[in-house]
């Protein structure tokens, strides 16, 4: 009676350990897919920041580092899974940093776009005002200048 | 009469400046016909000196050139596959296992030339080494096939 109880407990314990091992340690394929998904999410964030007018050069450089790390991890996955997992995790961290920095870049881009549009409107208004002034005063200014530069001229008899 | 000509000339010059100013703002960084580039360069980074024959299992070097003129930042993947001359088609992806993949994110009007090292494990004559360019699409959250280039190689030596 006591023996069968012990055997039963041992079996449950073994099953528990097996289940924990199977579900707690993520496979490398999962980690690769996770970091790949994170990089794709980061790319979408960068694209959105760029569409808002942000300067995404630094974000793209960081994202390329994440892509390079993921590539290294893919190459090492078969021979050195522990190192590969570490590289996947570094790639995910970099991608996460890109995702969290993108909104600030987008906001700065929106401000820069607004400033550029405002200065374009001001420039166009100044040019329009110049056109009106030119229309009104150019002939007058021209003749005044012409008179000044030709005041010493004498008219000869033909 | 001369006064009218002067008015037209002065206003015309100012209007031209305004048009260039406004069109310059709206056309900056806008690609009329978006496209991407894929190129395979030889070991000297030129469209020449490609290896025609390699030894089985031995590394050989090439350069991968990718250019982005899509009008926006783009995420690319270049996949290498092995095919034969029978299934050569540039407009569809090759139905074959991926040997290696190279990922890169490029800004608009940016290009990259990346050194790559490959090795082929099986003997063969006129083996087609295919390089496929795939672009990531955020709407579908997946890469779509864009174009491919290839190189014919004779792989000689003992199979490993």
Residue A152: both structure tokens together: 């010493």
Assess B106–A contact: CB distance below 8 Å, yes or no.
yes
- The domain B34-156 belongs to what CATH superfamily? Immunoglobulins (2.60.40.10)
Q: Please report, for chain B, how many H helices and E strands are present, in that order.
A: 1, 8
Q: What does the pLDDT look like over A19-68, one tens digit per residue?
A: 444 444 444 445 789 999 999 999 999 999 999 999 999 999 999 999 99
Per the CB < 8 A criterion, the answer to whether B117 and B60 are in contact is yes
Q: What are the domain boundaries of chain A?
A: 29-147
Q: What are the domain boundaries of chain B?
A: 1-30, 34-156
Assess B98–A contact: CB distance below 8 Å, yes or no.
no
Q: Please report, for chain A, how many H helices and E strands are present, in that order.
A: 4, 0
pLDDT band of residue B84 (cuts 50, 70, 90) is confident
Q: Which residues of B27-37 are buried (b: 16+ CB within 10 A; e: fewer)?
A: eeeeeeeeebe
pLDDT band of residue A17 (cuts 50, 70, 90) is low
Q: A26 to chain B nearest CA, in Å?
A: 23
Q: Mean pLDDT, to the nearest integer, of A110-124?
A: 91
DSSP string spanning B89-119? Answer: -TTS---S-EEEEEEEEE-TT-EEEEEEEE-
Contacting B with CB below 8 Å, chain A residues are 39-40, 43-44, 46-47, 50-51, 56-57, 60, 63-64, 67-68, 70-71, 74, 116, 120, 123-124, 127-128, 130-131, 134-135, 138-139, 142
Query: Which is more confident, A116 or B68?
Result: B68
Q: What does the pLDDT look like over B18-63, one tens digit per residue?
A: 898 888 887 776 777 999 999 999 999 999 899 999 999 999 999 9
């Amino acid at each position: 009676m006591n023996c069968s109880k012990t055997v039963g407990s041992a079996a449950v314990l073994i099953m528990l350990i097996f289940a924990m091992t199977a579900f707690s340690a993520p496979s490398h394929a999962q980690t690769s897919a996770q970091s790949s998904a994170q990089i794709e999410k980061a790319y979408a964030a960068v694209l959105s920041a760029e569409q808002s007018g942000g300067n995404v050069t630094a974000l793209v450089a960081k994202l390329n580092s994440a892509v390079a790390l993921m590539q290294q991890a893919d190459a090492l996955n078969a021979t050195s899974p522990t190192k590969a997992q570490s590289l996947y995790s570094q790639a995910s961290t970099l991608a996460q940093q890109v995702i969290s920095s993108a909104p600030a870049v987008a906001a700065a881009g929106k401000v820069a776009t607004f400033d550029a549009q405002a200065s374009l409107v001001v420039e166009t208004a100044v040019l329009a005002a110049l056109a009106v002034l030119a229309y009104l005063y150019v002939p007058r200014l021209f003749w005044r200048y012409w008179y000044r530069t030709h005041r010493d001229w004498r008219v000869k008899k033909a | 009469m001369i006064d009218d000509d002067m008015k037209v000339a002065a206003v015309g010059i100012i209007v031209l400046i305004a048009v260039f100013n406004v069109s310059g703002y709206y056309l900056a960084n806008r690609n009329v016909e978006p496209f991407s580039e894929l190129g395979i360069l030889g070991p000297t980074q030129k469209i020449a000196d490609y290896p025609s024959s390699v030894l089985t299992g031995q590394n050989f070097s090439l350069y991968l050139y990718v250019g982005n003129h899509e009008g926006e930042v783009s995420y690319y993947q270049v996949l290498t596959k092995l095919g034969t001359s029978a299934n050569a088609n540039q407009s569809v992806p090759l139905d074959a296992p991926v040997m290696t993949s190279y990922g890169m994110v490029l800004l608009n009007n940016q290009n990259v030339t990346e050194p790559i090292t490959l090795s082929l494990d099986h003997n063969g004559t006129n083996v087609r080494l295919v390089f496929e360019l795939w672009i990531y699409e955020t709407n579908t959250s997946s890469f779509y096939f864009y174009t491919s280039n290839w190189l014919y190689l004779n792989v000689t030596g003992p199979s490993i």
